[in-house]
Amino acid sequence: MPATESALPPDASSMLALAARSMFHLFSSMSQGMFLVDKAGTIVWVNEGYRRFLPALGFSSIDEFQGHPVEEVIPNTQMRRVLETGEPILVDLLTNKAGTFVVSRIPLREEDGQTIGAIGIVLFDQPETTLKPLIEKFALLQRDLDDARRELASQRSRALLHGDGGSGQRRAKYTFASFIGTSAAALEVKRHARRAAQSSSPVLLLGETGTGKELLAHAIHLASARARGPFVSLNIAAVPDTLLEAEFFGVAPGAYTGADRRGREGKFKLADGGTLFLDEIGDMPAALQAKLLRALQEGEIEPLGSNRLVPFDARVIAATSRDLPALVRQGRFREDLYYRLNVLPLKLPPLRERRGDIPALVEALSEDLAQRSGEVPPELMPDALALLAGQHWRGNIRELRNVLEQLAMRSDSQRVDAAEVRRVLAETGVEAIAAAALPPAPEGQGHAALLRPLATQVAELEGLAIAAAMAETGGNKLAAARLLGISRATLYGRLQGAT
Ligand SMILES: Nc1ncnc2c1ncn2[C@@H]1O[C@H](COP(=O)(O)OP(=O)(O)O)[C@@H](O)[C@H]1O
Ligand SMILES: [Mg+2]
């Protein structure tokens, strides 16, 4: 075939050079703008397209823009990183005072691989509109995922109880059924909580850490008329004081320059139509206490940097592990706010005041842990259970859960005895206290508990007696057998094979 003028160059390296040049021109014309920096990060070239961004960046001409270190003229740019690492950032979102952009950053290398500069490309500006189909698809998938997660969570919470709630999620996941316990104290608190769910006044949950305040807040929300609305939680102790006001009330658009210039919704607004759970309310700084009081009294909030009051519709549930009346006496918590919150106070009993619930809790918590780890929960021997029931449980159910998790992880047999529990207690820093005698049946079942197969009841009683004897003798099997008037062999048999 005769050669024409438009034929490809014959050798590979010229072809590559041509390809590179073509691609450069393609990008230069297809993209919204392009610029080059040298090794020092100084802007050395800007194409025509990029000119449109200059006014928003504060420049009137290309001449004025060139010659500056890149981060001085393009806020938040990552070009320096590309120069330093020699690695491209093929797709990224850049937000600065000029807007939000989809950008690409590519290092320029010499033959020997040395980075001698970098090229910055603005692929799209206003990604909200240019990438709309993609973002919409993403949002749809995200929504599907959220729905699936929620469904899974509610299925689980129906079947079993959950672990620590964490904070920030917008859906409640515990119901009253997740609150395990049939002791008089547990039933009493549940009864009050159900009643609180019917009302729209603020609820104040009091009790030591790990007693289930957060769980109960979820349950109250789900049993209330607002169950379909969001459940938003804010742990006041976990947020720096300086950021709390914005977290509570939000930030008006334009209040700040930079990333927050679009404004941000506060938790009060996010909880609209639902419940706002304010955890560790006792840790609230004084200035904010005044603002919260005003919000609760007026039903209106004032976002930071705005001078407009916006009404909100959120039911407040507050919780604290601190002695709030004492804080009021010391002048560290406003009395008027305390009364405002204390409309429906609920006191959660510490675990040591409802030891009878421990076997049921152990059962439910172990089941939940096993579900999460995908393993069969270990079975606790009666002496192990009795030992757990005797502890002080400063961290209450959270601490019990932690000990059970350690037990499941460390025990290599399916059966866990008191010795093993003692070891884990020591390792986790719980000071072991002698075992407690458990009541023969959960309180509240009374009569029904007696109308079960006698063999089961006898076995249960036997287990408890053995546990008590083992605890009394510090695990000395010979002494325990003597105490119970049985042979050592019988005791061994019971300890190994007993239910
Ligand atoms: N009555 C209960 N039944 C079952 N699990 C509980 C109960 N109370 C608390 N828990 C569990 O114990 C842990 C701590 O509870 P949480 O509600 O966070 O306590 P608090 O907010 O009082 O510190 C969580 O994993 C929770 O699911
Ligand atoms: Mg808590």
Q: List, run by run, the mean pLDDT of 10-residue segments along the chain (499 residues).
A: 62 86 88 95 95 93 95 94 94 84 93 93 82 69 70 63 43 89 93 95 96 96 94 92 92 70 86 96 94 94 90 96 95 96 95 92 92 85 90 92 89 85 82 60 55 71 77 77 85 63
Helix, strand, coil proportions of the chain in percent (round to 5)?
Answer: 50, 15, 35
- Please tell me the predicted confidence (pLDDT) of residue 157: 61
- At 94 the pLDDT is 87
Q: pLDDT at position 173, please?
A: 84
**CATH 1.10.8.60 segments of the chain:** 353-497
Start-end ranges of CATH 3.30.450.20 in the chain?
17-130
- State whether the beta carbon of 175 lies less than 6 angstroms from ligand 1: no
Strand spans (E) along 177-293 = 203-206, 231-235, 275-279
Report the CATH number of the 161-255+262-349 domain: 3.40.50.300
The whole-model pTM stands at: 0.58
212 burial type by CB count under 10 A (0-12 exposed, 13-18 middle, 19+ buried): buried
Beta strands 115-125; 99-109: pairing state: antiparallel
Cβ(377)–Cβ(408) under 8 Å?
Answer: yes
pLDDT of residue 277: 97
Secondary element (H or E) of residue 18: helix 12-30
> Is residue 36 within 8 Å of residue 118, measured between CB atoms?
yes
Rounded to the nearest whole angstrom, what is the distance from the C-alpha of residue 98 to the centroid of ligand 1? Answer: 47
What is d(CA 397, CA 416) in angstroms, rounded to the nearest whole number? 19
Pseudo-torsion of CA 255, 257, 260, 266, nearest 10°?
Answer: -10
Q: Which of 317, 322, 398, 402 to mutate to test the pocket of ligand 1 (most atoms within 8 A of CB)?
A: 398
Token digits of residue 363: 């059962």
Q: How many residues does the chain have?
A: 499
| CB of 404 sitting under 6 A from ligand 1 | no
Query: Regarding the domain delimited by 17-130, which CATH topology (the fold level of the hierarchy) does it fall under?
Result: Beta-Lactamase (3.30.450)
In this predicted structure, what is the pLDDT of residue 203? 97
Report the separation in Å between the CA atom of 209 and the middle of ligand 1, taken as the mean of its atom positions. 9
Q: Ligand 1: distance of its center to the CA of 471 in Å?
A: 28
**Which-ligand-closest: CA of 348?**
1
Domain with CATH 3.40.50.300 in the chain: 161-255+262-349
Task: With CA atoms as reference, report the closest residue to 73 among 31, 128, 101, 35.
Answer: 35
Q: Which CATH class is domain 353-497?
A: mainly alpha
Please give the Cα distance from 229 to 232 (Å, whole number). Answer: 10
Q: Relative to the CA of 397, which ligand 1 atom is closest?
A: 12
What pLDDT sits at residue 53?
Answer: 93
* Distance from Cα 216 to the centre of ligand 1, integer Å: 8
Nearest CA to ligand 1 atom 18: 214
Question: What local confidence, expressed as pLDDT, does residue 380 receive?
Answer: 92
